[in-house]
Structure 1
Amino acid sequence: MATLQASPSEVTASNLRGQKLPNWAPWAIGLGSIVISGLIFGLTGDSFNKARFAVLAALLFVVILTATSFAVEGRRQAVDRLFTTFVYSAFVLAVAPLFSIIYYTLSQGIGVIDGGFLSRSMFTISEDSFGGGAYHAIMGTLIVTAIAAVFAVPIGVLTAVYLVEYGDGKRFAKAVSFFVDVMTGIPSIVAGLFIFTFWLLTLGFQKSGFAGALSLVILMLPVIVRSTEEILRLVPHELREASYALGVPKWKTITKIVLPTAFSGIVTGVMLAIARAMGETAPLLLLVGVQAKISFDPFNGPMSTLPTFIYSQLGSAAGNPDAPGTARAWGAAVTLIAIIMIFNLLARFVGRFTRARG
């Protein structure tokens, strides 16, 4: 009777794969690590602390999973699982502060948000009394950021186009790139002081939303230039060469081929710059000031923005967590996060449905 024998390739593949832990094993080990951590806290009588509990459970999970994998799957697979766990742990550590900030801000400020808060200003409302709203600060933030974007976006995009399409090997392009790098590291207060000295002290203008927008332009430019530059460099050179081969001039190739292809990435970079500008406080305190009533004129007099509104309300609360100013500050923080999130969602929507399709 003939016997069936496995081919050498099948034997080799089986040996390489070896034994594998079932898919549910990491979940079971994770649950067991949580239970063991709880027992340790209970037996030692240590006071429960969420951070220490999470650290202990994570360490137990890594040790138990690695030891189990080493015993069942072998050294190679155990090392692979260990470093995979480190990668996922690094991801969790990176996003945990973000989710913590969002959760805490929402828990503190969501109860303040209502129709009155979004439609009223602080005009005639005492800082020590409840009531009022952040409508004037919301409009001020939108106006100042819009003015800054009107200046920063075309200048930043055109600068990136020059660096990528025209500036290869040129000294002026290298100088521009160097100063863009320098501007990336400029603190926001320095940009505010520069505009304060030039616009207010030297030229004699008063505090206004336009002055604050000029400082935001300085902060937005390097973000737009660098992000747009990287996106333009990702556009395949074959597209440019095909356009040139058809006799299309360079300027039309850039406007009709390169920029539409990179449009979604450019929009993402612009939104990153706008998000940074919306959250700036120091230059706006210097240049825009604080206003209790609604002002739609960015060229005359102070304007209130959400960051300065938060600052002033916390200052009026004097550290009292139950003060009306503290509640309004948390409500304004939630409103600012919501506005930035809405703008980012709109940018993704626009980038998705306007990108070049092959």
Structure 2
Amino acid sequence: MSNVVMDKRPERPSSNLQGARLPKWTPWAVAVGSVGLGLGISAAAGLESSIQWALIASVLFVLVSYGLGVKVEGSRQAKDRFATSLVWVAFLLAVIPLASVVWETISRGVKVLDLYFLSHSMGVVADSEVGGGINHAIIGTLEQVGLATVMAVPVGVLTAVYLVEYGRGKLAQTVTFFVDVMTGIPSIVAGLFILAIMIELKLEPFGFAGSLALAILMMPVVVRSTEEMLKLVPNELREASLALGIPKWRTIIKVVLPTSIGGITTGVMLAVARIAGETAPVLLLVWGSAFINNNPFEGAQASLPLYIYQQYAQSAGNAAAYDRAWAAALVLIIIVMILNLGARGIARWKAPKTGR
């Protein structure tokens, strides 16, 4: 007779160890209900602002999500839902105003935005008249921001390399302190600093003076962003390169900088976006001009932020100037977006390739 071996493994418990869970569609239902209640409360209270009912709906969404979580899933899962709902509300509160600004700029800016507007200057066209364009302002912005970038990026990147790779002692602490101070300098102060030098040298307003002020504003942003990107490079890469007998300066150029080039480029583009919309230094140092000036080292020169300010200042009862201001704002946003996309493409192209 053959012996029959009985399987004595314990049976799996039939009870479900996982507690009750809310359906996946619950957040969407709560969101819709919160919006409806927010609108109802706003209508009943006579609130006309859309911001008010949106805030009411946000508070209701967070509280109802937490209450349902406590009742059905328990306090631990309810806290997770509470934190998640807070993150979603914060995200929407940040995105909705941004989307509103972009939509408002596009809807108002396309009224006069065409090839003629991009290829002509104000010239002999008065601010109260229909016509004119922003060609002179585009040239001024590209030249002024370009010159500021050429001056600020090398200084900022080299300063960050020194602080991360070599900086020790009081000198590094002093440099870090002044970088922090420069980060909080108002743009008008940078403009006044360059203006004081121009007065001493008896110089007339010109485009390069604005570039100097913009470079001062740009440098600390480049230093801080580059410094953080360099700190993210693993020390193992540096040590491996040094172990092969490669000098430190060559390790920085061939290993450290290529590894962090994507983050550095993004930081540079953030700095460019920071200075591209500055008006105060340009108003003090460049003054603006209705005519095309391709030479940033001589004579007054226009720029897009200054053009927007001047046109909006003349927009009272003047629809032509009002439309030109919005169109110029839309062009400025497009230029910054193109620069960001181009920088990201260059960063991906120059990023170190990993093996398959």
Q: Give the TM-score category using the shorter length.
A: over 0.9
1:240 is aligned to 238
1:290 is aligned to 288
- Distance change >3 Å, CA 82–CA 292, structure 1 → 2: same
Q: Of 275, 278, 287, which residue of structure 2 is paired with 1:277?
A: 275
Please tell me whether the aligned partners of residues 61 and 85 of structure 2 are also in contact (alpha carbons under 8 angstroms).
Answer: no
Report the residue type matching 1:34 in the other structure: V
Q: Of 314, 326, 349, which residue of structure 1 is paired with 2:345?
A: 349
Matches of 2:49 and 2:268, distance apart in 1: 41
TM-score by length of 1: 0.92
1:181 is aligned to 180
Shift of 1:41: 5.0
**Aligned ranges 1:77-96 → 2 under 5 Å:** 77-96=77-96
- Distance change >3 Å, CA 145–CA 38, structure 1 → 2: closer
SS in 2 for 1:72: helix
Report the residue type matching 2:33 in the other structure: G
- Distance change >3 Å, CA 129–CA 231, structure 1 → 2: same
- Distance change >3 Å, CA 160–CA 37, structure 1 → 2: closer
2:323 is aligned to 327
- Distance change >3 Å, CA 37–CA 190, structure 1 → 2: closer
**Aligned ranges 1:129-168 → 2 under 5 Å:** 129-167=129-167
Matches of 2:45 and 2:213, distance apart in 1: 55
Shift of 1:316: 2.0
Matches of 1:157 and 1:277, distance apart in 2: 17
**Aligned ranges 1:57-136 → 2 under 5 Å:** 57-136=57-136
Report the residue type matching 1:272 in the other structure: L
SS in 2 for 1:59: helix
SS in 1 for 2:202: coil
Which digits, 9 at most, give the CA deviation of each residue in 1:19-77, with x for residues without a partner?
111111221222223333444456x3735542232223223323332222222212221
1:195 is aligned to 194
Matches of 2:247 and 2:333, distance apart in 1: 44
- Distance change >3 Å, CA 184–CA 49, structure 1 → 2: closer
1:28 is aligned to 29
SS in 1 for 2:314: helix
2:311 is aligned to 313
Which is further off, 55-64 or 225-234?
55-64
Q: For structure 1, list consecutive stretches of 5 or more residues without a partner in the other structure.
A: none
- Distance change >3 Å, CA 35–CA 6, structure 1 → 2: farther
Which is further off, 44-53 or 330-339?
44-53
CA RMSD of aligned residues (A): 2.1
Q: For structure 2, list consecutive stretches of 5 or more residues without a partner in the other structure.
A: 1-6
Matches of 1:204 and 1:234, distance apart in 2: 47
Aligned residues: 348
Shift of 1:142: 0.1
- Distance change >3 Å, CA 244–CA 23, structure 1 → 2: same
2:3 is aligned to none
Report the residue type matching 2:329 in the other structure: A
